[in-house]
Amino acid sequence: MGNFVFDGFDPPEPAATRQGWVLQVNINQQGMTRWHTWLARQDRHGTPHPDLQTATPCGQAGDTQPRRCRGEIAVD
């Protein structure tokens, strides 16, 4: 939620206040199977848009450290 909910920032807004994260978690009967984040950037009207070029944290069951993914593809 965070920045996607609030619209009361005074202009000019720093770029950091116009970005947020989207988290997807896949779960089955045994628990979490994988998770992924996407970076989203808001335009000047407050509408979020996915930034699919930026690598963001991701992982799957059994990982001991987060990975970096771009889209659904691990990059490291």
Q: What is the pLDDT of residues 32-67, one digit of tens each?
A: 999 999 999 888 777 888 998 999 999 999 999 999
Residue 73 banded pLDDT, cuts 50, 70, 90: confident
- Contact 48/20 with Cβ under 8 angstroms? yes
Q: Write down the mean pLDDT value for the chain.
A: 83
pTM for the model stands at 0.72
**What pLDDT was estimated at residue 24?**
92
Closest to 23 (Cα-Cα) out of 66, 75, 65: 66
Structure token pair of residue 52: 């699919």
- State what percent of residues in the chain have pLDDT above 70: 80
The mean per-residue pLDDT over the stretch 19-30 comes to 92
Domain boundaries, the chain: 2-54
Question: b/e for 31-49, b at 16 or more Cβ within 10 A?
Answer: eeeebbbbbbebeeeeebe
